Structure 1
Amino acid sequence: MTGGTTACYIGIGANLGDAQESVRLAVARLDKLPDTRLDACSSLFRTAPVDAGGDDYVNAVARIRTALEPPALLQALHDIEHEFGRERSFRNAPRTLDLDLLLYGARVLDLPDLTVPHPRMHERAFVLIPLLQLDPFIDIPGRGPAHAFAPAVAGQAIQKL
């Protein structure tokens, strides 16, 4: 890798096809992005869809170190989703793969196609629990310690696979 890198957290989810295999393959694919390396990945978790129907999701959070700038990283994530057959037919539609840029270092971004930190990450057990597994003391820029939001998501069903 060239130049400096930034620690980024990527939310990963799938609920169509072999969701567990899709999540595992997506994690491996993240490590192949240019100027990027996979640092760590949480366990896989099974969760019920939030604000949607369909099968349960398989979710994880990966930590990468990348020299890609946020828009380029987002495009790379969308390219991986496309490789996995992702279609964006309607909001919260079932998906073969969903990759969300949750955190990009300590940066706060509000761009037309990208908001970082991810705007609902602190409301979702399927993001918070795997994120806290990777770093129990992580802060969500502009919001504070991630663990402070865990009690609010305690009622959301999540099962470690």
Structure 2
Amino acid sequence: MKLPPKVIHPMGVSQLPEKTDLFEAVEVETYGGKLQVEWDPDAAVTPIGQLPFFIQFLKLGGRFQPWVDDCPLHYKSNNAPKKIDVLGSLFLSILSGHKRYAHITNLMSDRVNSELLGMSKVVSDDSARRGLKKIDEEMGIKWLQTHLQSSYSPY
């Protein structure tokens, strides 16, 4: 068996850029508008500290808003929470590593990440649970399968 040759940079690339520490602010595009992200080398690391970059990926890739728009969750009451708030709360909870609905309560004090997703608030765990129950199972599966397949389909 013959192994393929090692990959070498094309002839036009003579020097690689120097690695430097990232102390400058980086501009990130989110649903809440543009944001300047800066790193503080002395600050504590948070589990979802890189979330603004993931939100930029979702926005520029057209992933989050169509996912919310296509969701078969519909409310008739004017007092009901917005669909984006329910789905966004569940989304942030999952990204935070939560495994129970009750853990959504931990996100209610975090206004930054919810605003970056274009949400007006993080809903309670009861509102999120009731929202999921309102989605018809077959329609919900179709909705999720469609968006999952669009994330890896070549077309």
Q: Same fold (TM over 0.5)?
A: no
- Under TM normalisation by the shorter chain, which class is it? under 0.3
Q: Looking at secondary structure, tell me which structure has more strand per residue.
A: 1
Length-normalised TM-score, structure 2: 0.28
Length-normalised TM-score, structure 1: 0.27
Structure of higher RCO (CA pairs closer than 8 Å, 6+ residues apart): 1
